[in-house]
Structure 1
Amino acid sequence: MTVPITAKWEDIASAKRAARDALIPEEWRIPDTAERNVINVPKKCGVLTPKELEITETEASVLVDRMIGGQLTSYEVTLAFCKRAAIAQQLTNCLTEIFFDAALLTAQAIDKTFASTGTPVGPLHGLPVSLKDNFYVEGVDTTVGFVGWANDAAPKEKESEMTKIMRQCGAVLFCKTNVPTAMMMAETYNNTWNYTTNPYNRDCSSGGSSGGESALLALKGSPLGVGTDIGGSIRIPASFCGLYSLKPSFGRFATYGARSGLPGQEAIRSINGPMSSSLSAVQLWSKAVVDTGKPWTVDPNMLPIPWREVEVPEKLCFGMILDNGIVKPTPPVTRALLETKKALEAAGHTVIEWCPYNPAEAGELMMNFFLGDGGVKIAQYLALSGEPYPAGMGSYKERFETHKANPPMVGSLWDTQSARTSYCKKVLDDWLSTKEITGTGRPFDALLSPVTAYSACPKYAFDFHVTYTSMWNITDYSCTTLPVTYVDPAKDVKGPFEGRSELEQRIWDRYDPKEVEGAPVSIQVVCGRLEEEKVLKITGVVDAALKSAQ
């Protein structure tokens, strides 16, 4: 869509926000609050009934069982989450498109079908599921933060394959969530919808690019959400908001038909994956999408791999990345890793400090791919409305200004892709060589790693270093996140530090434990390519060890 030149981008954006806000019923509105930590506001604001509070505090898998068992209806579960999502929106600005009325009609239809047949409509029978903004859903916009993509509702035939699979699985879609412009920043803000904050500390970021999802899910305004990841966009927001998540390898979960800020950039493939406050919900979604959706039948890029049951050794050997040699994590992240190591060792597992092959090369490859068109695409989409570059997209602006008269040639892309493949081979060989140090005869069963150097960064303070996540996008490995602890200024004291680079020094100079107090601290679990089932199983082992140690 081309925005009329008579319309100012500010007016278009303001109208979009007003239209969204008008969809929240008056009786669901809450007073403004100055609290930094609003995680418990939904419980005490009075909008939700006691039964609705119980519903929204219940894990997704249990809700599905209760709906199938007749203890709950999809309508009452959906209504409860619509109300809680409305509260989450008022607290963190996490939603873009609201379609509560359509969701309630869908829930009623599911209940009617179930009453007459007694057969569940799918493995996610009647469960409300939220979607990141870039998935096309009939009747609503898919702006991906661009003002120029406003007021262009998707027709039914344009719905993303993941949207269709969610419906096929019996999910009730009820809202879409905020992203940074083009989904290319690690904090969630844009000129259309503005900034999404962290409900544990609203002076902090909810992460990006699936930051609307993370804020909504942390406030339990949804039991299960779908995000996307091309450099950390599921894992960073999940870690900032204390969630479980899965970044699969490309080929497992359908990606066809979703909107991208860099369409055609396939040197690093974007993937879809689940996010939730519950590990069982992540497992439920993953199996449902593969077994019921059969992604390889609707997306030509998917692999025909059914969901597999896997066993893992009773005693595992982990590699632990405490420092990638570029940016040492801030104190809360290091504490979370060491607490995890202690818990796993107490449970009989082995943890060995290790660093993978040349993470810095992965960071360079990623930026070369993301800026490989000379910043042209993003410049074109911003120009549709005349909106300015958001503050965090300076590298795209600089690249465009530098290369607009001399755009990159395809040969340079081919060179970078060749370097990527060579890099992936070296990472693989390096990991496999660890069988010499594990004592098990196997390479590391999994890696434990920071997600970023931050627990959750202050607003507008993410200094762009995403190599802890992006190197696993370059290699296409499967990863999860899981929460470990929260920032405690008494434990996460900032000591003297001399950085190895200007970037590392800036990140450490900016760290203030009081500023990020109460923010969740999470870690990342990494397994090999196409090992989604394995990484989820091992994440369960890590999670159980941490809970036993509490």
Structure 2
Amino acid sequence: MTIQPQTWDEVAQQKQAANLALIPDEWRIKTAQSVHVLDVPTTCGVLSVAELDITETPAAELVERMRKGVLKAYDVVLAFAKRASVAHQLTNCLSEIRFEAALAEAAALDDHFATSATLKGPLHGLPISLKDNFNVEGLDTSVGFVAWSNDPATKETESELVGTLRSQGAIILCKTNVPTAMMMPETYNNLFGYTSNPHNTRLSSGGSSGGESALLALRGTPFGVGTDIGGSVRIPAAFTGIFALKPSYGRFTTHGARSGLPGQEAVRSINGPMSSDLSSLELWTKAIVGSEGWLTDPSIVPIPWREITLPQKLCFGLLVDDGVVKPLPPVLRALERTRKALEAAGHTVIEYTPYETHLSIDIITRLFRGDGGVKIATVIAQSGEPWPEGLETYRDTYEALKSTPPTVEKLWDTQMVRQLFVKKTLEHWMATSGRTGTGRPIDGLISPTTPWAACPKYGFDLHLPYTSTWNLTDQSATVFPAGFQTPEDVNAEGYVGRNEREKRVWAKYDAEESVGAPVGLQLVGLRFEEEKVLKLTEVVMAALEKA
């Protein structure tokens, strides 16, 4: 009998069913009756009171409780496995589940602690989630492609970061959903479907680390790891009201992670931690830096952890408008609230105009499509799946250029333009020293992450320079929650936009549609200033809490 090959949608249906089967019946919940589902984990009855306490405790405190023997790693992992299960049922955030293996590893850690009275490392017993592109033994790394499903990674192909995390005591709990090829700012694909925002499931959780952001907003793990090549850590964090760190390339290992654009190195993808609390970002970063990864990965710059002492009086830049798309009302209000809070705390805030936003858009677009869309088109063709809506520009590029593909010469020309842009952007930043009153350039830049608070599903209009500019320049940045959209955040009367892109963004804005959406802002530093931007973010959060 001839066995007919599976169609792409049959593969997807089986993959989704297999995932759901890994969630025990006693962890299943009834369908949520509201689009606002943040409180469901605490009301659905799946978690005990003690487990809810565990999942709402910052990572550092959990490790301290395990060190004191108050908690066991098994109980911590079990609590988060239950909560991650609930999060997945609410938002479709998980791509791979390894609850049973994680519980076995936690039990082994408990045995280790019982006999040695020592923690394995600073992340001892903490369950962690990873964006889908990290290779973990026994799990697929599909990055949203149907063709890359049902092909689990081996021990030999595991990502370097996975081994580093395990050496520090962390336990891999699950992997999270991404958009196809990880090249869209919303998270959906033909294999797993759409990942919703738990603050309002009609809204996007961002992309490409949108599975991470949805899971972490629901506290399904203490922290997770995303990747960022144009805003893919920062946009999801902003959309779901959590914290994130985008480092410079070379601070954390990226070796062995899968890419939707393999071989594209003109704009380097980075790994960054994400969490519902700021302290967990520092815990993760210190642990990874402390592992001295430069001894095994030649791409890592040998910079040990640096303790930062900030000047008492700081000067922040404030980017209110990139000159192409003005942020929408909730974002503008959050920027103004942050400015007032910092000034009330005794700091100076000056407006900052970005350098040549139009050029930034042009450069990164040309670099991302430097292969003429061939890489993505090839993998999509392998399964016969349709092109997702958000990748249609890559499809159009491929169709237009497949008879005359781009040349290496054109790529090199674009890279030379990029290098000049990076130099001019740094000069533009350093020139602020004449306006700060401190004799220094701005200590950090407060900026929108996107024009939106959180956009409706399939509503992102591909305006990325608020984040992607800092990928071109490879600067460090964080994202922090700065409020929520309210019914009062109505359109400015008569504002229609200065160009077609801005007109589309403002025309689609509906103040009522996105009520309750988080507003996340960005804090940008210079290259390799990860410790500094984390410390500056503490200053900003302290000021906002008093405002």
| Paired residues for 1:18-417 under 5 Å | 18-292=17-291, 294-417=292-415
Instruction: Indicate the residue corresponding to 2:543 in structure 1.
Output: 545
1:470-499 deviations in Å (ceiling 9; x for gaps): 000000000000001011012445532121
Instruction: Indicate the residue corresponding to 1:468 in structure 2.
Output: 466
Is 2:414 the partner of 1:443? no
Q: Distance in 1 between matches of 2:37 and 2:188?
A: 19
Per-residue deviation, 1:513: 1.2
Instruction: State the SS of the aligned residue for 1:55.
Output: helix
Per-residue deviation, 1:229: 0.1
Q: Distance in 2 between matches of 1:496 and 1:106?
A: 60
Q: Distance in 2 between matches of 1:153 and 1:214?
A: 24
Per-residue deviation, 1:295: 1.8
Q: Distance in 2 between matches of 1:318 and 1:212?
A: 32
1:19-42 deviations in Å (ceiling 9; x for gaps): 000000000000012311100000
The answer (yes or no) to whether the contact 1:494–1:513 under 8 Å persists in 2 is no
Q: Distance in 2 between matches of 1:445 and 1:484?
A: 19
Q: Distance in 1 between matches of 2:293 and 2:546?
A: 37
The answer (yes or no) to whether the contact 2:431–2:441 under 8 Å persists in 1 is yes
Instruction: State the SS of the aligned residue for 1:400.
Output: helix
Per-residue deviation, 1:6: 1.6
1:438-466 deviations in Å (ceiling 9; x for gaps): 11111001100000000000000000101
Instruction: Indicate the residue corresponding to 2:421 in structure 1.
Output: 423
Per-residue deviation, 1:177: 0.1
Paired letter, 1:446: G
1:272-302 deviations in Å (ceiling 9; x for gaps): 000000100001000100102x221222211
Instruction: State the SS of the aligned residue for 1:163.
Output: helix
Paired letter, 1:197: S
Paired letter, 2:336: L
Paired letter, 1:452: T
The answer (yes or no) to whether the contact 1:78–1:107 under 8 Å persists in 2 is yes
Q: Distance in 1 between matches of 2:9 and 2:470?
A: 38
1:56-91 deviations in Å (ceiling 9; x for gaps): 111111111111111101000000000000000000
Q: Distance in 2 between matches of 1:172 and 1:102?
A: 9
The answer (yes or no) to whether the contact 1:494–1:511 under 8 Å persists in 2 is no
Question: 347-356 vs 202-211, which deviates more?
Answer: 347-356
Paired letter, 1:251: G
Paired letter, 1:368: R
Instruction: State the SS of the aligned residue for 1:91.
Output: helix
Paired letter, 2:300: M
Q: Distance in 2 between matches of 1:421 and 1:528?
A: 16
Per-residue deviation, 1:360: 1.8
Instruction: State the SS of the aligned residue for 1:433.
Output: helix
Q: Distance in 1 between matches of 2:461 and 2:355?
A: 23
Per-residue deviation, 1:525: 0.1
Paired letter, 2:319: I
Per-residue deviation, 1:354: 1.4
Q: Distance in 1 between matches of 2:41 and 2:183?
A: 31
Paired letter, 2:90: L
Instruction: State the SS of the aligned residue for 2:450.
Output: coil
The answer (yes or no) to whether the contact 1:335–1:492 under 8 Å persists in 2 is no
Aligned residues: percent identity? 58
Paired letter, 2:81: C
Per-residue deviation, 1:432: 0.6
The answer (yes or no) to whether the contact 1:187–1:462 under 8 Å persists in 2 is yes
Is 2:482 the partner of 1:484? yes
Instruction: Indicate the residue corresponding to 1:495 in structure 2.
Output: 493
The answer (yes or no) to whether the contact 2:496–2:507 under 8 Å persists in 1 is no
Q: Distance in 1 between matches of 2:85 and 2:255?
A: 29
Paired letter, 2:23: I
Instruction: State the SS of the aligned residue for 1:384.
Output: helix
Paired letter, 1:530: F
The answer (yes or no) to whether the contact 2:489–2:511 under 8 Å persists in 1 is no
Instruction: State the SS of the aligned residue for 2:245.
Output: strand
Match for 1:513 among 511, 514, 519?
Answer: 511
Paired letter, 2:133: N
Instruction: State the SS of the aligned residue for 2:193.
Output: coil
Q: Distance in 1 between matches of 2:157 and 2:109?
A: 23
Instruction: State the SS of the aligned residue for 1:216.
Output: helix
Paired letter, 2:15: K
Paired letter, 1:49: S
Which ranges of structure 1 fall in alignment gaps of 5 or more residues? none
Per-residue deviation, 1:548: 1.4
The answer (yes or no) to whether the contact 1:93–1:195 under 8 Å persists in 2 is yes
Instruction: State the SS of the aligned residue for 2:188.
Output: coil
Instruction: Indicate the residue corresponding to 1:526 in structure 2.
Output: 524
Instruction: State the SS of the aligned residue for 1:302.
Output: coil
Q: Distance in 2 between matches of 1:231 and 1:133?
A: 17
The answer (yes or no) to whether the contact 1:374–1:400 under 8 Å persists in 2 is yes
Aligned pairs, how many?
545
The answer (yes or no) to whether the contact 1:336–1:521 under 8 Å persists in 2 is yes
The answer (yes or no) to whether the contact 2:180–2:388 under 8 Å persists in 1 is yes
Per-residue deviation, 1:310: 1.4
The answer (yes or no) to whether the contact 1:344–1:350 under 8 Å persists in 2 is yes
Q: Distance in 1 between matches of 2:164 and 2:196?
A: 30
Q: Distance in 1 between matches of 2:107 and 2:457?
A: 40
What's the RMSD between the two structures over aligned residues? 0.9
Paired letter, 2:325: V
Is 2:431 the partner of 1:433? yes
The answer (yes or no) to whether the contact 2:305–2:531 under 8 Å persists in 1 is yes
Instruction: State the SS of the aligned residue for 1:505.
Output: helix
Per-residue deviation, 1:345: 0.3
Q: Distance in 2 between matches of 1:363 and 1:479?
A: 19
Q: Distance in 2 between matches of 1:494 and 1:89?
A: 37
